[in-house]
Amino acid sequence: MEKDIGISVQDVYKSFGKEQVLKGISFSIPAGTIHGVVGNNGSGKTVLMKCICGFMHCDKGEIMVNGKRVGRDCDFPDELGVIIETPGFIPNLTGYKNLKILAALKGKIGKKEIRETLKRVGLNPDMRKPVSKYSLGMRQRLGIAQAIMEEPGVLILDEPFNGLDKTGVVEMRQLLKELKQSGKAILLASHNVQDIEELCDVVYDLMENRL
């Protein structure tokens, strides 16, 4: 039996004025796999990810996440966890309180799940330090916690290891492997070749608007 498709991108085009960024992009990511996307700065990786999330609308083509058409059936897919660019948090609140506010938007999880997720990414849920005093690596861990805390079926991760030290990178790679084993469909962008080689089942090279 064919695996469920977490992400399906079919013949997607995206331009800004006369500049074409994505041209005829098509691929699919089954559940339980990690697919990587690589390319130079400005190649369109982040634009592609934003289109999948519904943050941008493609000019042509169809994007489906867990069977729902983005921009038609949903504006932002429910079953989606995201890190794109630097995660934004309320600086004067603790990491736990930030996640509590975000979790309240959907009401899917409570205090127990938030605490467990913080521990899973290597953060102390009882830490009283505000996010403004976090190191870059701690903020990145909190961003990963935000993306996975509601157990979404699909993850879009744009440079998720930014700011992490060597230990942090090893720990978060292991976490992604566990998430894959649990059946998540994951799209990962990273400039680190080792991240891509160690984690990804399939790698796409985005070059001159095409995969």
Provide the whole-model pTM.
Answer: 0.92
Backbone φ, ψ for residue 149 (5° rounding)? -65, -30
Give CA–CA dist 131/127, Å, rounded.
Answer: 10
- 1-79+152-211 topology per CATH: Rossmann fold (3.40.50)
Mean pLDDT over the full length of the chain: 93
Backbone φ, ψ for residue 33 (5° rounding)? -135, 155
Q: Which residue has the higher pLDDT, 209 or 59?
A: 59
- Distance of CA 12 to CAs 27, 68, 167, Å? 10, 16, 38
DSSP conformation class of 55: S
Average pLDDT over residues 10-37: 95
Tens of pLDDT, residues 24-82: 999 999 999 999 999 888 888 999 999 999 999 999 999 999 989 998 888 888 889 99
First to last CA, the chain: 27
Give CA–CA dist 152/117, Å, rounded.
Answer: 13
Tens of pLDDT, residues 76-112: 888 899 998 777 899 999 999 999 999 999 899 999 9
> Within 13 Å, how many C-alpha atoms sit on residue 90's CB side?
11
Q: Where in the chain is the domain with CATH 3.40.50.300?
A: 1-79+152-211
